[in-house]
Amino acid sequence: MTKHFDKGGSEWAMFADYYQLTQTYWIPEPASETYWANLVEGACAFMRKYEQIPLASKLALALLDSLEERARAEGPKSPSFGAQA
C-alpha cells in the first residue's frame, strides 16, 4: 500500500520549498561570492524553517555538496576560486 503525505502539510511544503531552492541555485557560479553567500543563507533558512523534519537538513546539505562538486568540476572561473584563506 502506498502512503502519501497530505497536500498542504509540512512535508508537502518542505518539498515545494526545496524545489524553489534548487531552481534558484541550480547552476553554480564558481566566481560569484554573492551566489555562494545567498545559497548558504537560503539553505540555512530552509533548514531552520523545517527543523522538525530531519530530511530537510539532509536535502539542503546534499544540494550544497552537489553544487560545490559541480562548480569544482567546471574548474576555476576566477583566480580566487577555491583559494584558501
Contacts of 23 (CB under 8 A, 6+ apart): none
The answer to whether the pTM exceeds 0.95 is no
- Residue 39 amino acid letter: L
Longest Cα–Cα distance in the chain = 54
User: Each residue's pLDDT tens digit in the chain (85 positions)?
Assistant: 777 778 888 999 999 999 999 999 999 998 889 999 999 999 999 999 999 999 999 999 999 999 999 998 887 664 444 544 4
Q: Which parts of the chain fold into alpha helices (H)?
A: 10-25, 33-49, 54-74
The region, left, alpha or beta by phi > 0 then psi within -120 to 50, assigned to residue 71 is alpha
**How many residues in total does the chain contain?**
85
